[in-house]
Amino acid sequence: MTTHVFKPDMPPPGNRIGIVAWARANLFSSWLNTLLTLFAFYLIWLIVPPLLSWTILDANWVGSTRADCTKDGACWVFIQQRFGQFMYGYYPTELRWRVDLSVWLAVIGAAPLFISRFKHKAIYGLGFLVVYPILAYSLLHGGHWGLTNVATSQWGGLMLTLVIATVGIAGALPLGILLALGRRSDMPAIRVVCVTFIEFWRGVPLITVLFMSSVMLPLFLPEGMNFDKLLRALIGVILFQSAYVAEVVRGGLQAIPKGQYEAAAAMGLGYWRSMGLVILPQALKLVIPGIVNTFIALFKDTSLVIIIGLFDLLNSVKQAAADPTWLGMATEGYVFAALVFWIFCFGMSRYSMHLEHKLDTGHKR
C-alpha cells in the first residue's frame, strides 16, 4: 500500500492576477470589448466633467439673492433660500418644530422594529401603527392641547409628500389584505366584488383617480358635507393603492403551501382564526419586500397631487422656480427635488432587496 503525496497548490500563472490581468479580462478581452470600453469612457467623459463643474466646481454656494450667483454653475443659493418651503410648504415657520418632532417620533418609534433581537415586534408594531397616527395628526394639525390649528392647506413640501405616502400605504394595507382574502374566497359573490374592485383601480391611471376624487367626490356626498382637498386626495390614493397591495398580498397567500391551510382547518380553527393566526402571519412576512416596492411606487406617485393643486415637494419646487425674483432656476430646483426623491426611493429599494435576500435564505431547505 502506498500513501499518496499530494502536489502542493501552485499560484496561477502570472498573467492571471493583478490589476493588469483584471483589466485584460474585464475590459479588453477582445477587440469588441476594447471598443465598448472606449465607448464607455467617451460617455463618461461626455457626462461627468460638465456635470461635476456645474454641480460643484463652478456652483454658487453663498449669498441670499439671485444676484449673488455670478459663476456659470448651479445657483444653490436658490435652494438654500427656499429650503424651508421645500421641506414644510407654507407651514408657519415658528411651528415647524411640530413637524420635526413627528418625524423624530416616527424614527425613534419605528427603530425597535429593525432590531433583530427585539422579541415582541408584531404586538409593538401594531401598537405603534395605532398610536403614532393619532399622535402625529394631533401634532401636525393642532387645534387642541394648546396647539394652534394649522389647516391642511398650509401643509406642503416634503412633509406633505411623506404624509400622503405614509397615510396612503397605512390605509391601503388593511383594505388590500381584505381584498386579497376576498379574491381568494370560496364565495362567488365576494370574489366578483373584489376582482371588479381591484381590476378597476389597476386599470386606470392615478391621475384620473385624483381628478375623480377632487371633482366627483363632492357630488357623491350628501349636501353640506365636504372634505378638505387633502383628505379627498388621500381617499383616492388609498383606494387606488389598496388594489396594488391586494395583488401583492395575494401573491403571498398563493405562496403558502396548501398543507398550512389544511393543518389550520384540521385544528378546528374557523376561517378568520386560521387566516389571522396561521396564514396571514406567514404570508405577510413573505410580501414585505413587495409592499416596500409598492410603497416606492406610491412615493413616486405622490408627485401627481400637483395636478389637483396640492403643494407637495415637486409642486413647491415648480412654484418657487416660477417666482419672478428667481427666474431661470428650474434646473436647480428639479435637480434638488430629483435628488431627494432618489435618495428615498433608492434607499427603500435597497432595503427591500436586503429583505428579499434575507427571506430567501430563511426559506431554503
Nearer to another protein, 12 or 259 (CB): 12
8 Å CB contact between 279 and 142: no
Phi-psi domain of 185 (left: phi exceeds 0; alpha: psi -120 through 50; beta: other) = beta
Q: What's the closest the beta carbon of residue 112 comes to another protein, in angstroms?
A: 28
Going from the C-alpha of 229 to that of each of 125, 305, 307, 311, the distances in angstroms are 30, 10, 12, 11
Q: What's the closest the beta carbon of residue 275 comes to another protein, in angstroms?
A: 14
Q: What's the closest the beta carbon of residue 290 comes to another protein, in angstroms?
A: 14
The answer for residues whose C-beta is within 8 angstroms of residue 65's C-beta and 6 or more apart is 77, 325
Q: What's the closest the beta carbon of residue 313 comes to another protein, in angstroms?
A: 9
Nearer to another protein, 282 or 349 (CB): 349
Euclidean distance between CA atoms 86 and 157, whole angstroms: 5
- 295 CA to centre of own chain: 4
Nearer to another protein, 28 or 90 (CB): 28
Euclidean distance between CA atoms 62 and 31, whole angstroms: 49
Q: What's the closest the beta carbon of residue 9 comes to another protein, in angstroms?
A: 4
Nearer to another protein, 199 or 323 (CB): 199
- The sign of the torsion formed by the CA atoms of 96, 99, 102, 104 equals negative
Q: What's the closest the beta carbon of residue 144 comes to another protein, in angstroms?
A: 31
- Residue 46 has φ and ψ, to the nearest 5°, of -70, -40
Alpha carbon dihedral 82, 87, 90, 96, in 10-degree steps, equals -110
Nearer to another protein, 92 or 309 (CB): 309
Q: What's the closest the beta carbon of residue 207 comes to another protein, in angstroms?
A: 5
Q: HEC states along 65-88?
A: CHHHCCCCCCEHHHHHHHHHHHHH
Q: What's the closest the beta carbon of residue 35 comes to another protein, in angstroms?
A: 10
C-alpha cell of 147? 396647539
> How many residues in the chain?
365
The answer for residues whose C-beta is within 8 angstroms of residue 26's C-beta and 6 or more apart is none
Tell me the β-bridge partners of 75: 60
8 Å CB contact between 91 and 142: no
Q: What's the closest the beta carbon of residue 243 comes to another protein, in angstroms?
A: 12
- Residue 89 has φ and ψ, to the nearest 5°, of 65, -135
